[in-house]
Amino acid sequence: MELPRKILIGESVISELGSIIRSLGTDSPTVAIISGKKVKARAGKDCAQALKKESLAFSWHIGDNASMETVGKLQEKLEEKDLPDFVLGFGGGRSVDIAKMTAFKIDKPFLSVPTSASHDGISSPFVSIRGTDKPHSVKANTPIGVLADTLLMSNAPPRLLAGGCGDLVGKITAVKDWELAKEDRGEYFGSYAANLAYMSARIILAESKRLGKANQFGIRTIVEALISAGVAACIAGSSRPCSGSEHLFSHAIEYVAGPDFGLHGERVGIGTIMMAKLHGLDWEKIKETLVDVGAPTTAKQIGLSDEHVVKALVTAQSLRPDRYTVLSKIKLDIKSARELAKAVKVI
């Protein structure tokens, strides 16, 4: 069981970044920062000042494209000189994933410094990145530390926060899929990890009307829930408590339509509505929650056609046949997939 050693959440805690790195490393640790251009322009100064305050040597690297090609270029660049002691992912889910995989490739500790609360990868060992041999999340290393500055996050586009809520409600169907795999296939089921992930989703359902506003309460609640969900995956040793049929649907959308249709969490939220219906859960409550937080609930809202949704539903389980979900049990064809999507008004 590999867990983050330090987690710091709060307003303006970015100023503590340098001291946290010192507490985790050697006397004079070096840091490679990986971020996107926009985040560096918006918040890079705060990050750099925190490292300079502790006299830490650092280099800055841009990785806008979440692909293995980008990871390969970053790896090559870092290996040209002495390797850094730490790799730091500074930005949204994309930057965190790129940095996490790069750190894994060069076998160095990874620090997660998210600037938006868009998905649970900020604290889990899993990455969703294009160009691997698998069209779904793959395992890298658990972050050695997580620093989440809620003030910094409040400046991120509200859409990213809503996407984080979509990723969180997905834990409801992910846990149900895990339970189903235990019942039908005798698969290992970790009650503690499942309950932790489920609790992270339930708090979004309970507080959805307050979370629609990007205030400190909302941001902190969502960030804490995302980190808890990521830790649940660490405890389980797999993404089972956090990723089920709803995530397979999200990956299938990328597979059949391309990566430019909605954020990861937006697609997961829409998938959760449909998978909840298949599980016999209260899908209307899930849909209401997503509306409350400003997340999309229809294919049209993220530019998807009806045919994209239907094809993704039919294709989803084949992307990961080893992961038993409700889609393994209820094998959808084109007709039943269309009926499902229409029944919950996704199309």
Task: Pick the more confident residue, 282 or 121.
Answer: 282
Q: How many of the other CB atoms lie within 10 Å of CB of 191?
A: 9
pTM attached to this predicted model = 0.93
pLDDT for 87 equals 96
Alpha-carbon gap, residue 245 to 268, rounded angstroms: 9
Give the CA distances from residue 171 to residues 89, 146, 178, 213, in Å, rounded to whole numbers and listed in that order.
24, 21, 10, 22
pLDDT at 213 over 90: no
pLDDT tens digits for 228-279? 999 999 999 999 999 999 999 999 999 999 888 999 999 999 999 999 999 9
pLDDT tens digits for 2-30? 899 999 999 999 999 999 999 987 778 99
Alpha-carbon gap, residue 100 to 92, rounded angstroms: 12
**Residues 259/265, Cβ–Cβ less than 8 Å:** no
Domains and CATH numbers, the chain: 6-153 (3.40.50.1970), 158-343 (1.20.1090.10)
pLDDT for 128 equals 81
pLDDT for 63 equals 87
**Residues 298/270, Cβ–Cβ less than 8 Å:** yes
